Amino acid sequence: MTEKFAAAEIIAAKRDKSELSDPQIDWIVDAYTRGVVADEQMSALLMAILLNGMSMREISRWTDAMIASGERMSWPQLKVPTADKHSTGGVGDKITLPLAPLVAACGVAVPQLSGRGLGHTGGTLDKLESISGWRASLSNQEMLNVLQECGAVICAAGSGLAPADKKLYALRDVTGTVPAIPLIASSIMSKKIAEGTESLVLDVKTGSGAFMSDPSQAEKLAKTMVELGKRAGVNTRALVTAMDVPLGLTVGNALEVRETLEVLAGGGPSDVVELTLILAREMLSMAGVDSDPEVALKSGSAMDRWRKMIIMQGGDPDAPLPTARERHIVNAESTGTIIEMDALKVGVAAWRLGAGRSRQGEKVQAGAGIEIHAKPGEKVRAGSPLFTLHTDEPARFELALDALVGATEISASAEVVKRLPLVVARIN
């Protein structure tokens, strides 16, 4: 067939800081998905977008073109409103796990399409796969069955959902173009809009362990995504939240599932509980449901939803969680108050222990990761445990310990603890 445009012309236009027209955007996304535009040509365009940016109109059209590359889901069979949450990822960020069943227990359905970890940020699907028998891949009909039965489903996006994004994401990952806000925003929102949820809360992380470490850039990304949601008719809100310190007291797949069970049982670390409740209240208010998630957490109804969801996806909620074969304790070198803990360094250490992968498709260790024994603001004594490292391969300890050098700062004097507030900004 005769193509409407030439890729080189579109690359040159963005190189020269021109705005791309709607037909140009529609064509380039479609032609790349069909294999007409080569990887090297799309790589050049992605770099031009990274360097020269895109207008809001261009980002919106690019997002629409990615959605149009595949199917768009909807849930008319459900008799309750739908809401979802997306996190840009962080260290110890297991919030999706308790949040989905909690919101379901309050009367809102949660169709949650999640991803895998890459680099130092953990993936929700990797965490859940540490549960014996649990399946990430579900057909649309299976998703609907789980939603109808227990109100929440957490699974992988099928190949039919925004296939252009899958292809573009893999290319961005190897061409140094991941940090471009137009590309991040359109990647996230194309999948979330195609997923068919009525309301969406975005949890945009900022701080050393986040993808967007600078709060002003995180806020810019949040505003861009909220605008994309609005243009697509999805009720969208964003919170910019702290990722300067790991969330909770565990980093790693099975370790984070264990902590999730503590939260669902009415306990768990205060920051995980607080952020779970904040996001649950946002999702419920957007869905127009007046229900107190704290009651559902304490009554055990959120735990009941969790167990049902795990069983319906082939998992055994009573099976013991995997544990790593080897452990190593890192002790405090001095007495005083912890005033800083670098989330990035802790995340990289957990990744080096085997909790994450260095390339797509690599297998992760279910039991690998880090337990944190004290957080900023807490007093420690010299020789008391700070971290316990877990891995199946003892040779990994040295690499992880290298990553943890300077991860914590302990002060003998009563210095101010260096922390971001849990919620840095809110964008409606």
Is there a catalytic annotation at residue 172? yes
Q: Which residues pair with 41 in a beta bridge?
A: none
**DSSP letter (8 states) at residue 355:** I
Question: What ranges make up the beta strands (E) of 72-161?
Answer: 83-87, 110-114, 152-156
Q: What share of the chain is helix, strand, coil (3-state, %, to 5)?
A: 45, 15, 40
Which one is catalytic: 64, 84, 126, 165? Answer: 165
Which one is catalytic: 114, 130, 186, 187? Answer: 187
Measured distance CA(398)–CA(405) in Å, rounded: 11
Which one is catalytic: 14, 85, 166, 191? Answer: 191
Place of tokens 């080569």: 38
Nearest of 18, 6, 4 to residue 53 by alpha carbon: 18
Measured distance CA(52)–CA(319) in Å, rounded: 52
Is there a catalytic annotation at residue 191? yes
What is the b/e burial string over 306-344, where b = at least 16 CB atoms within 10 angstroms of the residue's CB?
bbbbbbbbebebeeebbebebebebebeeebbbbbbbbb
Which one is catalytic: 14, 172, 192, 305? Answer: 172
Q: In this structure, what are the phi and psi dihedrals at residue 326, rounded to the nearest 5 degrees?
A: -120, 145
Residues 6+ apart with CB under 8 A from 196: 72, 73, 74, 75, 82, 111
Measured distance CA(399)–CA(421) in Å, rounded: 31
Is there a catalytic annotation at residue 270? no
Is there a catalytic annotation at residue 165? yes
Measured distance CA(370)–CA(372) in Å, rounded: 6
Helix or strand or coil: residue 118?
A: strand
Which one is catalytic: 86, 94, 167, 231? Answer: 86
Residues noted as catalytic:
86, 165, 172, 187, 191
